[in-house]
Chains A and B, each alone.
Chain A
Amino acid sequence: MIAHCYQDKPKHLRRNHFLQEKLFETFMGQNDEKIKVLIAEDDATCRMALEAILEQWGYDVIIAEDGQKAWQELQEPDMPRVVILDWVMPEMNGLELCEKIRSQTGLPYIYVILLTCRKRKDDVIKALESGADDYILKPFNKEDLKKRIDQAVKRTFTKDGASYRTGGRNKEEVIERYENEMIKAARETALRQFHTNRITELGRLSAGIAHEISNPISYILGNAQNLEIYWQEAEALLLRNIRCQDMKKVDQIREKVRNNLESIQSGVERIVRIINGLKAFASYGKDEHRYCHINRCVQHSLDLCSRTIQYLNIETRLAENLPLVKGDPVQIEQVIINLIANAADAMEKSETRRLTIETASTDDSVTVVVSDTGPGIAEADFSNIWKPFFTTKAVGRGTGLGLATAKKIMESHDGQIDARNRTEGGAEFTIKFPISQCEVAAAGAGIYDRCTP
């Protein structure tokens, strides 16, 4: 059918059908000449996965174990025009190879797809800068791969991609590419903006929702606790009157009921944690500020976290005679608690678990430093840790609101919050409250001591 149409078209339109025809013929087995795709990948498993799938789709797959071999393949007279390059390879990596391909003139255009890892987003930009046409993230999925390959074949073998095939890069092409990238960037910015608006909206909504949910949650929790008490009584009665042949069945039921009760409680506890997080997130900056002792806030926070920190070594170095800080003690404690909880979670798998809290003051500020001996913060995560709903904890563990809330609270106190990795390992969070000169003097004179509870 397609082949038939092709015959009727005037010559200048035929090219549009090149792809369909080529695929059609491949599909019908009429054409021995399949489209060649080169895969350069040092890892045998990934290579085989790519190869198997591409062969299934009817491509002629050529394999190279490293960058150097891939380069040799491209020197052959009938070289593949679509190449998939792994980023990390011995000899010559994907990026270098891509740059080398781009610097070679006088050849038809080669469409380059770089394979890169999901956890390193900056790499994508580097890949495109090196002259790659597209990228695939590992571990790849079949659908995504199909889209990218279809695009590659379309660009390489049809009129759409005419400018690609000429080998040289003309002005229009560069502009078009730039335009596309700009559209993409604008879209991303718009999406981010949209997301931020949604978060603000969410803050407003969540206060209401948290309030509405708290009430029914307390019935669930209360009733679950009652159930547990009644069930214990029922169990005692049951065990007293049990027949021997029912023993096994009854034991199973007891086990299941116990599990279900535990599940209800832990589920409810999780909901409560999330709601508290939302409340704190939504309600920053509302309460009135007064003068408070930072050391007392630290001590109080530690008391509140006693369960979280029972398996940690706690080291506190609290400076004496600290100036008072103007703020809401409950919120300041919330910040410190969030940092403590964060540190405790970070050290969950660490051998040494030491949490250090230090307070200090300079002429114009009071600081609290919370540091841990966990794995530290991944370089790539630094820009994200303050974002709401960003979490590196396992699904269901973190709400992703802890640090976002801490930041908001600190902003409402005209303070700062910073994170860094310590050179000796572990992460360190510093919160800093400003103090004005007159307050220092006043605090020194003990005037504000009365104001603190």
Chain B
Amino acid sequence: MYTERTSFLKTDYDEKIFDWADVTTRLGDDDIVIRIVQCFLVDTPGRLEQLSRAVHDKDSKNIETHSHSLKGAAATIGASALAEAAFALESMVTRNDFTEAEAALGQIKEKFEELTALLSRPDWVEVVKRQEEQENSYDNEEPRQESD
């Protein structure tokens, strides 16, 4: 409601670490979401390793491929913050600018760690659902308080 009130799931801007509402409305099915999240958690560390190597070697073609795929995968599971971070690296390299590639990679790793911390909890589904609810009720609560 007010941008100044950033809440639990949110990072610097409006990008959420994990956007349950987005991914479930897009894919329409909790089970599918749970399955692809598992798949993502298994698949991504390998990709990050390839990406780190590419950044280390300043191999623009591979940086582009891997950051692009990572962005797609992260966006698919609703990991907006990670998708944004991957996009930042991708667009940097598209512009042929390596100066901050390391920093961008650091951002990606950080976002992935945050995401893993959340999604590897056995009760993550309940946690994200609860946070989503809290956030909604927080937004709805305010006008009522103001009126009394």
Asked if A and B are interacting partners, one says yes
Where the two chains meet, the residues of A that have a C-beta atom closer than 8 Å to any C-beta of B are 42-46, 48-49, 52-53, 56, 86, 88, 90, 117, 119, 138-143, 256, 259-260, 262-264, 266-267, 270, 349, 375-376, 378-379, 394-397, 421, 425
| Chain A nearest CB, measured from B52 CB (Å) | 17
Interface pair B72/A263, CB less than 8 Å apart:
no
In angstroms, Cα B25 to Cα A443, docked, is 65
Interface pair A56/B145, CB less than 8 Å apart:
no
Q: In the complex, given contacts A49-B27, A49-B77, A139-B76, what are 6 additional A-B residue pairs having Cβ atoms less than 8 angstroms apart?
A: A45-B40, A45-B43, A45-B76, A52-B32, A56-B29, A260-B142
27 sampled A-B residue pairs with Cβ under 8 A: A43-B72, A44-B40, A45-B77, A46-B73, A48-B35, A49-B36, A49-B77, A52-B35, A52-B36, A53-B27, A53-B29, A86-B72, A88-B65, A88-B69, A117-B68, A117-B72, A138-B72, A141-B26, A142-B28, A259-B5, A262-B4, A263-B4, A266-B4, A375-B92, A378-B91, A397-B13, A421-B95
In angstroms, Cα B42 to Cα A375, docked, is 32
In angstroms, Cα B72 to Cα A86, docked, is 10
B99 at the interface (CB under 8 A from A): yes
| Chain A nearest CB, measured from B96 CB (Å) | 10
Residues 63-104 of chain B: 1 if any A CB is under 8 Å from the residue's CB, otherwise 0? 011001101110111100001000110011011010100000
B12 at the interface (CB under 8 A from A): yes
In angstroms, Cα B97 to Cα A376, docked, is 11
Known: A138-B72, A379-B94. A395 touches B14 (CB 8 A): yes
Complex partner residue of B69 from A43, A375, A395, A425, CB under 8 angstroms: A43
Interface pair B39/A48, CB less than 8 Å apart:
yes
Interface pair A46/B76, CB less than 8 Å apart:
yes
In angstroms, Cα B146 to Cα A264, docked, is 9
A contact residues around B14 at 8 Å (CB): 394-396
| Chain A nearest CB, measured from B73 CB (Å) | 4
Known: A117-B71, A267-B2. A425 touches B99 (CB 8 A): yes
When C-beta atoms are compared, the residue in chain A nearest to B99 turns out to be A425
B3 at the interface (CB under 8 A from A): yes
Complex partner residue of B27 from A43, A119, A141, A425, CB under 8 angstroms: A141
Interface centre among A45, A270, A375, A425 (most CB of B within 10 A): A45
Interface pair B36/A45, CB less than 8 Å apart:
yes
Interface pair A376/B95, CB less than 8 Å apart:
yes
B contact residues around A396 at 8 Å (CB): 3, 14
- Give the interface SS of chain B, mostly helix, strand, loop or mixed: helix
A contact residues around B64 at 8 Å (CB): 88
Interface pair B145/A256, CB less than 8 Å apart:
yes
Which parts of B85-127 form the interface with A (CB within 8 Å)? 87-88, 91-92, 94-95, 97, 99
| Chain A nearest CB, measured from B15 CB (Å) | 8
B contact residues around A421 at 8 Å (CB): 95
| Chain B nearest CB, measured from A393 CB (Å) | 8
Q: Which 7 A-B residue pairs are closest in the complex by CB-CB distance?
A: A396-B3, A394-B13, A139-B75, A45-B73, A141-B26, A44-B43, A45-B40
Interface size class of B (residues with CB under 8 A): 35 or more
Interface pair A395/B27, CB less than 8 Å apart:
no
Where the two chains meet, the residues of B that have a C-beta atom closer than 8 Å to any C-beta of A are 1-5, 12-14, 25-29, 32, 35-36, 39-40, 42-44, 64-65, 68-69, 71-73, 75-78, 83, 87-88, 91-92, 94-95, 97, 99, 142, 145-146
Interface centre among A46, A56, A117 (most CB of B within 10 A): A46
A contact residues around B83 at 8 Å (CB): 139
B contact residues around A52 at 8 Å (CB): 29, 32, 35-36
B contact residues around A42 at 8 Å (CB): 69
A contact residues around B73 at 8 Å (CB): 43-46
Interface pair A397/B3, CB less than 8 Å apart:
yes
Interface centre among A43, A256, A266, A425 (most CB of B within 10 A): A43
| Chain A nearest CB, measured from B76 CB (Å) | 5
Interface pair A53/B26, CB less than 8 Å apart:
no
Interface pair B4/A349, CB less than 8 Å apart:
no
B contact residues around A425 at 8 Å (CB): 97, 99
A contact residues around B142 at 8 Å (CB): 260, 263
In angstroms, Cα B78 to Cα A138, docked, is 11
A contact residues around B68 at 8 Å (CB): 88, 117
In angstroms, Cα B17 to Cα A329, docked, is 45
Complex partner residue of B12 from A43, A44, A46, A349, CB under 8 angstroms: A349
Interface pair A49/B99, CB less than 8 Å apart:
no
B contact residues around A142 at 8 Å (CB): 26-29
B contact residues around A46 at 8 Å (CB): 72-73, 76
B contact residues around A119 at 8 Å (CB): 87
In angstroms, Cα B2 to Cα A139, docked, is 27
When C-beta atoms are compared, the residue in chain A nearest to B80 turns out to be A139
A contact residues around B1 at 8 Å (CB): 263
Interface pair A395/B3, CB less than 8 Å apart:
yes
When C-beta atoms are compared, the residue in chain A nearest to B13 turns out to be A394
In angstroms, Cα B99 to Cα A205, docked, is 46
| Chain A nearest CB, measured from B142 CB (Å) | 7
Interface centre among B12, B39, B44, B146 (most CB of A within 10 A): B39
Interface centre among B14, B36, B65 (most CB of A within 10 A): B36
When C-beta atoms are compared, the residue in chain A nearest to B12 turns out to be A349
